[in-house]
Structure 1
Amino acid sequence: MSNVKTIETSRLILQQSNIKDAAFFLELLNTTKWLLYIGDRNVHSVKDAEKYITERMLPQFNELGYGNYTVIRKTDGIKIGSCGLYNREGVDGVDIGFAFLPTYESLGYAFESAQALLNLGKNKLKLSKISALTTEENLQSQRLIEKLGLKFIKKIKIPNDSETLCLYTITF
């Protein structure tokens, strides 16, 4: 499978996350919402972020041809968020996820980037189903997932995580 390294939308460039994004991920992974809804990934320096990218993001791209994308705004080249398709333990099929810096929330960027990845999954990767997970408390994420067309299935727990999560899916 060939890697899909870059995706463009009308306002955004989704680029395969790489080591050059370490300072950005240091900031993103330590935002209040990331820590609250996704969890502390123990990324507290640029070096930690480089290790996180190298060990957690790049292997999936090498293995599957897709993974985590850094979302860049076309108008000014600013890195504003992250959106990706993930092979996540405990989830049947591919999981879509997203996170944005607080300044860039509620501006349609998460929807635009996630919609592009749903299209990639359906049309190029020929996936038959995409899932999404969110915490019970993350109502903003739940609304976006539903706006994307995913339907709530059930509450689940994934391996090595004690938190109850809401599972959504869309089939093509």
Structure 2
Amino acid sequence: MNVIALKAITIRPVAPEDASLLFELMTSAKFLAKIGDRGIKSEADARQYILAKMHPDLKKKGFFVNHIIMDSETKAEIGTCSLHDREGINGVDIGYAILERYEGMGYATAAAQKMVDLAFGTYGLSKVCAITNVDNLGSSKVLEKVGFSHVGNIEVPITDHPVKLYELSYDEFKNKR
């Protein structure tokens, strides 16, 4: 298993055993409002979601795109981060979700930065995108801290409303380092 340690977080691939974390995260009021309903109503649903939606990406892409974020010191599981080839977006889309009790502690920024590092350094991508709801100011701040630029609003099939589109090219990433 590939485990990636950062200063404050460790990131590891999502496993079926993470169903309780995903259930808690994906049924929270904030997740439902900011990211959307994924149809998770139980831990069994979350386990099935991992197996049906998250693990097939390994076979399609050859690398894990969905990760669990853990506090490096306490080993507490605090959220998820990912890279997706999402319909309606020209480029790989970075995503992250943090349990509400861990928000505002820098975990989302550290996880987003690690996903960008993986996208450019390990997977050789030339551009990374991100989307967020127009009213999700916290997520917008995280993306801007990591170096993303807001390039406009778009509509994508996973939402029923316009979302903010952010982009970061490899050249911009390299120049900001």
Q: TM-score normalized by structure 1?
A: 0.94
- Counterpart mapping for 1:125-136 below 5 A: 125-136=123-134
SS in 2 for 1:98: strand
Percent identity between the aligned chains?
A: 33
Distance 2:64 2:25 in 1: 20
Task: Give 1:161 shift.
Answer: 2.9
**Contact 2:6/2:72 (8 A) holds in 1:** no
| Residue-by-residue CA offset, 1:118-161 (whole Å, 9 max, x unaligned) | 11111111110000000111111111111111111111111253
The 8 Å contact of residues 121 and 127 in structure 1, kept in 2 or not, is answered as: yes
- Per mean C-alpha deviation after superposition, the further-off stretch among 103-112 and 5-14 is 5-14
The worse-fitting range, judged by mean Cα deviation, of 6-15 and 27-36 is 6-15
User: Aligned equivalents of 2:158 and 2:73: distance in 1?
Assistant: 40
Give the whole-Å Cα distance in 2 for the aligned partners of 1:54 and 1:36.
Answer: 24
Provide the rounded CA distance (Å) in 1 between the counterparts of 2:158 and 2:168. Answer: 25
The code of the aligned residue for 2:90 comes to D
Structure 2: unaligned runs, 5 residues or longer: 171-177
Partner of 1:85: 83
Q: Deviations over 1:89-146 (max 9, x none)?
A: 1111100011101111000111111111111111111110000000111111111111
- Are 1:10 and 2:7 matched, yes or no? yes
Amino acid at match of 1:169: E
Would you identify which runs of 4 or more consecutive aligned residues in structure 1 move more than 2 Å?
A: none
| SS of residue in 2 equivalent to 1:144 | helix
Question: Aligned match of 2:152 in 151, 154, 157?
Answer: 154
Equivalent pair of 1:5/1:66 in contact (CA under 8 Å): no
Partners of 1:76 and 1:160 lie apart in 2 by 34
User: Is 2:63 the counterpart of 1:62?
Assistant: no
Shift of 1:18: 1.1
Shift of 1:27: 0.1
Structure 1 unaligned segments of length 5 or more: list them: none
- The match for 2:122 among 121, 124, 127 is 124
- After TM superposition, give the deviation of residue 78 of structure 1 in Å: 1.1
Q: Is the 8 A contact 2:5 2:72 kept in 1?
A: no
CA contact (8 A) 1:96 1:114 kept: yes
Letter of the 1:163 partner, please give it.
H
- Letter paired with 1:28: L
Matched, 1:50 2:47: yes
TM-score, reference length from structure 2: 0.91
Q: What pairs with 1:9-48 in structure 2 (closer than 5 Å)?
A: 9-48=6-45
| CA-based RMSD | 1.2
